[in-house]
């Protein structure tokens, strides 16, 4: 794995993609440090609070930054994030306002800060993509390796399951599930997308396993009596990991695009959460270019970063 990472960063595309992806991941993880109604640290009415947006959400629920600042007593102080606005905060600025010092990208059709919503939408879109890609990769590897190693009716059963799953696109499957749900949830969206995406990893793993078993080292391992489980975990994994890593990067990009499409149609994440697709869906209420372009640009940069990393992994695997 270390050798693979060195090969990735050795290429210019790999370095650019990894840098972009690391920056996007930092924005998603530390969103409260970029945009929030509450300070990063403050002394408030005789008590000290570190990251109150995370550690004391109920204590300051519904309070805007200007209200918090007006309540600070003499001697109290606060260290604020870069942007003093949360993703759901409706401020005093009129809806669909242009860029200003308080709102660098303006406000949306409901008076919420556009930049704050883009920042928190990064967490939703990228986090969902990574979670779905990881679960589908592990599930697909286990079933694909089982099909390739065992063969027989195991191979036929898993191959038929992959074909059945491949018939139903993720958008159609989520739409069907939403019709039976009383209230859309993030967990159901995650489960449905993981149930659809595992088939791609299983198909790729099966092909890689069958190709690897035809090589001399695999014949030698079987002659020495190596068990199928040990062969799958110890011997086959190093051979299939690079290709599966590239597939995982493409899977994250695919999930991000699918989530954006679903949220745009009103079938994605719950309305209480922020996502890029939900922001793009505001075009239904007459959202202008200053509202639509930021999430569209963020999605494009994320996809470019993922594809650059995936391409670097693919090239490294071919060496």
- pLDDT tens for 195-249 read 888 888 888 888 887 777 776 666 676 676 666 666 666 667 777 777 787 788 8
For residue 226, being part of any structural domain is answered with yes
Q: To which H or E segment does residue 43 belong? A: strand 41-44
Which pair of structure tokens corresponds to residue 196?
A: 């659809």
| Span 257-313, pLDDT tens digits | 888 888 887 788 887 788 888 888 777 777 777 888 998 899 889 888 888 888 777
CA gap 100, 84 in Å, rounded: 13
Q: Closest Cα partner for 280 from 305, 263, 304? A: 263
Contacts of 77 (CB under 8 A, 6+ apart): 42, 43
For residue 97, being part of any structural domain is answered with no
User: What does each C-alpha distance from 199 to 35, 129, 140, 193, 194 come to in angstroms?
Assistant: 38, 16, 6, 11, 9
For residue 139, being part of any structural domain is answered with yes
For residue 14, being part of any structural domain is answered with yes
| Span 68-114, pLDDT tens digits | 888 788 888 888 888 888 888 887 788 888 888 888 888 888 888 99
For residue 292, being part of any structural domain is answered with yes
> What pLDDT, on a 0 to 100 scale, did the predictor assign at position 248?
81
For residue 50, being part of any structural domain is answered with no
> Which CATH number do you get for residue 130?
1.10.3720.10
Question: What pTM was estimated for this model as a whole?
Answer: 0.81
Residues 123, 33 contacting (CB under 8 angstroms): no
| Chain-centre distance for alpha carbon 208 | 26
User: What does each C-alpha distance from 194 to 122, 241, 262 come to in angstroms?
Assistant: 19, 19, 15
- CA dihedral in degrees (108, 112, 118, 124; nearest 10)? -120
For residue 200, being part of any structural domain is answered with yes
Length reported for the chain: 319
For residue 90, being part of any structural domain is answered with no
Q: In what order do the strands lie in the sheet with 78-79?
A: 47-50, 41-44, 78-79
Domain that holds residue 16: 2-30+115-318
Count of structural domains, the chain: 1
């Amino acid at each position: 794995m270390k050798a693979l990472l060195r090969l990735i960063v050795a290429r210019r595309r790999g370095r650019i993609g990894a840098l972009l992806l690391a920056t996007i991941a930092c924005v998603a993880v530390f969103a409260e440090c970029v945009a929030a109604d509450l300070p990063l640290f403050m002394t408030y009415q005789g008590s000290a609070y570190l990251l109150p947006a995370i550690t004391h959400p109920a204590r300051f629920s519904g309070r805007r930054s200007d209200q918090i600042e007006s309540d600070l007593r003499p001697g109290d102080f606060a260290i604020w994030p870069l942007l003093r606005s949360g993703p759901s905060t409706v401020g005093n600025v009129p809806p669909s306002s242009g860029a200003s010092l308080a709102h660098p990208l303006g406000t949306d059709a409901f008076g919420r800060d556009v930049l704050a919503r883009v920042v928190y939408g990064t967490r939703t879109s990228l986090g969902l993509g990574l979670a779905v890609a990881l679960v589908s990769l592990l599930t697909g590897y286990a079933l694909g390796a089982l099909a390739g190693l065992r063969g027989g009716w195991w191979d036929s059963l898993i191959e038929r399951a992959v074909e059945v799953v491949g018939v139903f696109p993720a958008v159609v499957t989520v739409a069907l599930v939403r019709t039976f749900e009383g209230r859309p949830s993030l967990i159901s969206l995650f489960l449905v997308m993981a149930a659809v995406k595992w088939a791609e990893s299983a198909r790729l793993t099966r092909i890689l396993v069958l190709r690897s078993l035809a090589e001399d080292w695999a014949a030698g391992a079987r002659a020495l009596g190596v068990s199928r489980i040990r062969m799958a975990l110890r011997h086959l994994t190093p051979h299939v990991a690079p290709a599966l890593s590239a597939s995982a990067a493409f899977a994250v990009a695919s999930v991000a695009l699918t989530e954006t499409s679903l949220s745009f149609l009103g079938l994605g994440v719950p309305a209480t959460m922020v996502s890029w697709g939900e922001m793009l869906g505001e075009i239904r209420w007459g959202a202008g270019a200053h509202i639509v372009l930021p999430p569209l640009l963020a999605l494009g940069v994320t996809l470019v970063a993922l594809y650059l990393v995936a391409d670097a992994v693919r090239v490294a695997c071919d060496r």
